[in-house]
Amino acid sequence: MVINSFSATDNIMSDVAIGNFQRVIQEQGYLYLEELPDNFDHLAFAEKFGSLIPHKYNNEYIFSIKVEPKLGERYPAFTTNEVEPHTESYEYDHPLHYQSLWCVTPAKCGGGHTLLADGYAFVNSLSDEEREYITKNKFDFITPWGSIVKHPLYDVESYSQPIVRFNFSNLKREDDAYLDDIAKRFLRFFDDEKISIKWSKNAFLIWDNFRMLHSRTQYQDRDRELKRVYMNDK
């Protein structure tokens, strides 16, 4: 699959450019830009796509994704380990709509790729019976802090746009062979269809968290650093 890459231009913040970028996100679920200048205002650009949400860790809009041992005990994003395919904030009634990353320091080791795959495409590949099952039923998800919440995998009621919720390790399915089969096929689909973002300095990525699953490959370079922002609709 082709990654959309755009060289930086003086009018990248224009209404016309933003409208074009929004159409790209609507069509394929994500937008990836490379070759942005060192003085590019990534936060101002991200805000063109939604209303910024403060992070719970520091109550600020920007959070650094780098090795943080204390946070890594609960969240694998803050380690050098591989991160499983998932949607962000799956545990909440109203998950965040957009997630954006930009690269401060790419991993010199060649790892740490962000991977994306289209959850809507997987749902559309299911039979009518399977799709109804993951839509009509609520399933147990384990939250990062250990409690249980119930949500459908394919939520068509919480928002005007369908919401895919997924976290393989935190979806309780040991007593539901039907759900377990669908979840394992979702992982295989992700592996077959994934888009790899290899990251270069200043590159910018935004995706629709209602639609896209994301993960990350393992890496060794502990100096790797991305910046992250969360957004909802304006």
Q: What is the pLDDT of residues 138-181, one digit of tens each?
A: 999 999 889 999 999 999 999 999 999 999 999 999 999 999 99
Please state the rounded mean pLDDT for residues 39-48: 96
The helix/strand/coil state of 206 is strand
Confidence band of 7 (pLDDT split at 50, 70, 90): low
Assigned architecture for domain 15-232: 4-Layer Sandwich (3.60)
Question: In terms of Cα–Cα distance, which of 230, 190, 189 is closest to 206?
Answer: 230
Q: How far apart are CA 36 and CA 204, in angstroms?
A: 8
What percentage of residues in the chain have a pLDDT greater than 70? 92
Question: In the chain, what is the greatest distance between 2 CA atoms, to the nearest angstrom?
Answer: 56
> Which pLDDT does position 73 carry in this prediction?
59
Q: pLDDT digit string (tens) for 171-209? A: 999 999 999 999 999 999 999 999 999 999 999 999 999
Task: List the beta strands (DSSP E) in the chain.
Answer: 30-33, 51-53, 63-65, 83-86, 98-105, 114-118, 139-142, 148-151, 154-155, 163-164, 195-197, 204-208, 212-216, 225-232
In the chain, where the domains are located: 15-232
Q: Is the pLDDT of residue 10 over 70?
A: no
Distance of CA 191 to the CA centre of its chain: 15
Phi/psi of residue 17, nearest 5 degrees: -65, -45
- Output the pTM of the full model: 0.92
Give the start-end residues of each E strand in 106-198. 114-118, 139-142, 148-151, 154-155, 163-164, 195-197
Is the confidence at residue 20, as pLDDT, over 60? yes
Helix 177-193 crosses helix 128-136 at what angle (to 10 degrees)? 110
